[in-house]
A and B are shown apart, each in its own frame.
Chain A
């Protein structure tokens, strides 16, 4: 069963297929051959426009965000050796959400379209810096507790913003944004988060060897020459940059970071470093699939992707708890 190369190849093919489907499916169904022909016509046609201006940026965003969530989830589960760990754990998502909510609350997003995402990125970085400062020198458990404290603080501030919202419209927009959405995102959003996502993922990708050694616990990993302080810095900075930027443009999208590492782990012999790449790919595949599903489900109002992943992901959480109970008792 242990064929990481086959797994990675399979996931890559799957990713390409999902990406292509994502470009063609939606309110307007497109014929791939027609789109291909129109792409090369001198005058822009509707089908080509839908693909290049609406669906392509949306699909790329889904890939970037899903990949960030999958990778960061795999790294965090490796660091904490806790299968329930996920990117929201460090307070990054809540911090990014708070940043974006501040932009909406004060009407800053009216002044300049990208105030929301930019404040979101700043919020994510600030929240993770606070988590890091709070947990400095402590264990992985300490880090998780600090992350929970920071998340609670951010959540309290978001509630306050909802409570004091100047008008019902602002409250509606905030709660709408908190659901997590990929609709109406443009190339500018892609360009805005791309450098953050790439540098964050690069930092996270460097943790593999240390995560393997951590299978033996903190003390043995340290005795094997792993610098735990440096590792924690890499993980927090990497998560803040990648997931923080992702959350800043789409709102919170849960469960992808929790599920993706689990699904690939048995296929790579449970070795933490080998989980990283497949979990990244699967994260992108899952988010693309969820995005396609929200477009296909025929509700009057489109279901937001964050809501969809939560609905589909929660049963998985139940199953995980039941399985853990069975194996630990």
Chain B
């Protein structure tokens, strides 16, 4: 059973405290949305949970074992990570891009095995990328690239997916598409941790919300408990109206001036 546990995480950069004793525990089946204002420490928390950043205090454990005790490839087979606005810097084909997700399983020299090719094909069809297979990844539209990156993250069949702002810059249809895919990944018994700015989508798709404010954990809990005007004001310094409409919960920020 997947269990990702950060306790008393502390990160200091250039004498500024980015994360201050943050404790989070997440298990398989959860879709955790990390929310907070710009500079609240969301990205730093995600990098630390992914084992990509050396913390100045506290520990992160995956299944009871400290992340730093895992080898790079060993960890890479268990968790996938997507940074904010992931880009592809060479015009390689979409098939190649998706296949890069298999890097930790590949030998130093040599290509994909038959099983790996089948897995890549499966991802291409699941993410509606079959027609783009040979297209150069640098010519994809924003929505297509987002799908390709998710396919690249899913292709290695990780147990944990950590993804930073997956829907930033996506139009509503593609944003909903990405959120749906993340939720169904979590529902299949995996763990998803994602930072999100869109509170409405966070409230509708996530199973739990973690709110950061100035590097500290402000509150965590089910969306209905966290997404209330008083808490939103405490986290974002902004007035809001939270309602339930036909599409589910939605959060509307209002100008209080």
Same complex = yes
Residues of chain B contacted by A188 (CB below 8 angstroms): none
B104 and A224 form a contact (CB under 8 A): yes
A81–B89 CB distance below 8 A: yes
| Interface residue tally for chain A (C-beta within 8 Å) | 22
Q: Is the interface of B mostly helix, strand, loop or mixed?
A: mixed
| B103 and A212 contacting across the interface, CB-CB below 8 Å | yes
B81 touching A220, Cβ below 8 Å: yes
**A230 nearest CB neighbor, chain B only:** B72
Alpha-carbon separation in the docked complex, A225 to B80 (Å): 10
Contact assessment for B103 and A224 in the assembled complex, using a CB-CB cutoff below 8 Å: yes
Mark interface residues in B70-101 (1 if CB within 8 Å of A CB, else 0): 01111111011111001111111100110011
The chain B residue sitting closest to A212, CB to CB, is B100
Does A226 touch B at the CB level, under 8 Å? yes
Check A219 for interface membership: any CB of B closer than 8 A: yes
User: Are A225 and B76 in touch, CB under 8 angstroms?
Assistant: yes
Instruction: Report the stretch among A43-51, A101-109, A119-127, A264-272 that lies at the interface.
Output: A264-272
CB distance from B96 to the nearest CB of A (A): 6
Chain A residues closer than 8 Å to B108, beta-carbon distance: 206, 208-209
Interface residues of B in 156-209 (CB under 8 A from A): none
Chain A min CB distance to B10 (Å): 20
Contacts A208-B109, A219-B81 known; A269 to B96 CB distance under 8 Å? yes
A residues near B74, Cβ cutoff 8 Å: 225
Q: A223-B50, A269-B93, A269-B96 are in contact. Are A217 and B83 (CB under 8 A)?
A: yes
Give chain B's interface residue range (CB within 8 Å of chain A): 20 to 34
Do A223 and B81 have beta carbons less than 8 Å apart? yes
B92 touches A270 (CB 8 A): yes
Q: Does A191 have its Cβ within 8 Å of any Cβ on chain B?
A: no
Q: Could you tell me if A225 and B90 are in contact, using CB atoms closer than 8 angstroms? A: no
**Per-residue B-contact encoding for A209-246, CB less than 8 Å = 1, 0 else:** 10011111101101111110000000000000000000
Q: Separation in Å of the A155 CB from the closest CB of chain B?
A: 30
* Contact B89 A224, beta carbon cutoff 8 Å: no
B118 at the interface (CB under 8 A from A): no
Bound complex: CA of A270 vs CA of B139, how far in Å? Answer: 14
Give chain B nearest CB distance to A100 CB in angstroms.
35
A269 and B72 contact, CB distance less than 8 A? no
A positions within 8 Å CB-CB of B: 81, 206, 208-209, 212-217, 219-220, 222-227, 269-272
The 10 closest A-B pairs by CB, nearest first: A225-B76, A223-B81, A225-B73, A225-B72, A225-B104, A81-B89, A224-B103, A219-B83, A270-B90, A215-B90
